[in-house]
């Protein structure tokens, strides 16, 4: 009986020591991809290169630890910012996306920066239009 009580107390103590560390790490991006479509919050047609005729592209991201705040998807064509979308994060483990209609003559390097409330870039997703 004492052995089980000791193990239980040890487990609770370890959890108490770990919990503050987890909450202080801040939000992070578990997954971020560019896709040609979305279906039930699942990205479809994920790639790093897209046709100039692709039209609308989606930036999907799974955000952990940002409940009650927001993030931004900032779309860049080359070094020019072309769109900034604010996305509210409602749950601790939250899937969201933004989209951009790509003009067919905007061929070249693109990126989407996923940015936290404090301005920190959490992740950058790069892709090409050919």
Residues 58-111 have pLDDT tens digits of 999 999 999 999 999 999 999 999 999 999 999 999 999 999 999 999 999 999
The order of strands in the sheet holding 56-64 is: 28-35, 56-64, 93-101
Which residue segment(s) compose the domain that 123 sits in?
26-129
Of the pLDDT bands very low, low, confident and very high (cuts 50, 70, 90), residue 25 is: confident
- 124 located within any domain: yes
Residue 11, pLDDT score? 45
Total domains present in the chain? 1
The CA-based angle 57-62-43, given to 5 degrees, is: 35
What CATH number does the domain containing 30 carry? 2.60.40.1930
- 16 located within any domain: no
pTM of the model: 0.80
- 113 located within any domain: yes
């Amino acid at each position: 009986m004492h052995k089980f009580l000791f193990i239980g107390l040890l487990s609770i103590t370890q959890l108490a020591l770990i919990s503050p560390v987890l909450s202080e790490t801040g939000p992070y991006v578990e997954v971020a991809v560019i896709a040609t479509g979305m279906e039930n919050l699942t990205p479809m047609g994920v790639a790093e290169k897209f046709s100039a005729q692709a039209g609308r592209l989606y930036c999907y991201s799974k955000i952990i630890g940002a409940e009650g705040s927001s993030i931004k998807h900032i779309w860049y064509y080359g070094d020019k910012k072309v769109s900034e979308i604010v996305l509210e994060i409602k749950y601790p483990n939250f899937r969201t996306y933004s989209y951009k209609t790509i003009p067919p003559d905007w061929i070249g390097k693109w990126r989407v920066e996923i940015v936290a409330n404090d301005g920190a870039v959490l992740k950058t997703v790069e892709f090409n239009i050919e």
